Amino acid sequence: MADMAFLLLIFFIVTTHISTDKGLAGRLPPPVQEDQTIENIEVNKRNVLMVFINEDNLLTVNDKQTDVRRLKEKVKEFVANVNDDPDMPEKTVEDVPFFGEYPTMKKHIISLQNDRKTKYQAYISVQNELIAAYRELRDELAMKKFGTSFANLDEERQKAIRKIYPQNISETEPKKEGGSE
């Protein structure tokens, strides 16, 4: 009887699939080479959307307090810059496969920073809203151009839409407690 129980235990161990958490999808920048010089790149202020979560988990966007539920719409408005607002990101006309000469939003940057005391859930909520904004922009363009969602497109069409709406989120080192550097 003990042998049968042992064999059943082995069978279940071998055939059971244990799911693993995947975590957040993100790419780290490559490590800085010893001989590499660090250059300061000038970025036009209109191309940057500053998103900050303070120690009380309050969200500010360009120094204006905002509710996290409104963040997605603010990001979409900023990235798309539908009305060519001079206070929003510059558009660059490029040759995009399937679109021809088309304005791309490659110059925009979403700068995300948080305080060291920010709760993890607040940080994740902001991350989710930022990613959702890009997802919706890409879906809207895919529906308009190809009549289907972004996820249903082949890799080449997805790449073309990513060229128009690249996901430019820059995370800076958290501020020390109390907002002092």
In three state form, how does the secondary structure of the chain look? Answer: CHHHHHHHHHHHHHHCCCCCCCCCCCCCCCCCCCCCCCCCCCCCHHHEEEEEECCCCCEEECCEEECHHHHHHHHHHHHHCCCCCCCCCCCEEEEECCCEEEEECCCCEEEEEEECCCCHHHHHHHHHHHHHHHHHHHHHHHHHHHCCCHHHCCHHHHHHHHHHCCCCEEECCCECHHHCC
Q: Give the contacts of 99 (CB within 8 A, at least 6 positions apart).
A: 145, 160, 164
Q: How confident is the model at residue 42 (pLDDT cuts 50, 70, 90)?
A: confident
The predicted model gives 16-36 an average pLDDT of 68
What does the pLDDT look like over 110-140, one tens digit per residue? 999 999 999 999 999 999 999 999 999 999 9
Q: What is the pTM of this model?
A: 0.78
Q: Would you state the pLDDT for residue 177?
A: 59
In order of 33, 44, 113, 127, the CA distances from 48 in angstroms are 27, 7, 13, 17
Residue 1 has pLDDT above 90, yes or no: no
Chain centroid to CA 171:
10
The predicted model gives 77-101 an average pLDDT of 94
* Tokens (6 digits) for 50: 């500053």
The predicted model gives 45-67 an average pLDDT of 95
The predicted model gives 8-26 an average pLDDT of 75
Q: Would you state the pLDDT for residue 166?
A: 96
Q: How confident is the model at residue 38 (pLDDT cuts 50, 70, 90)?
A: low
Instruction: Work out the percent of the chain whose per-residue pLDDT is above 90.
Output: 68
Q: How confident is the model at residue 93 (pLDDT cuts 50, 70, 90)?
A: very high
User: Contact 98/157 with Cβ under 8 angstroms?
Assistant: yes
Residue 29 has pLDDT above 70, yes or no: no
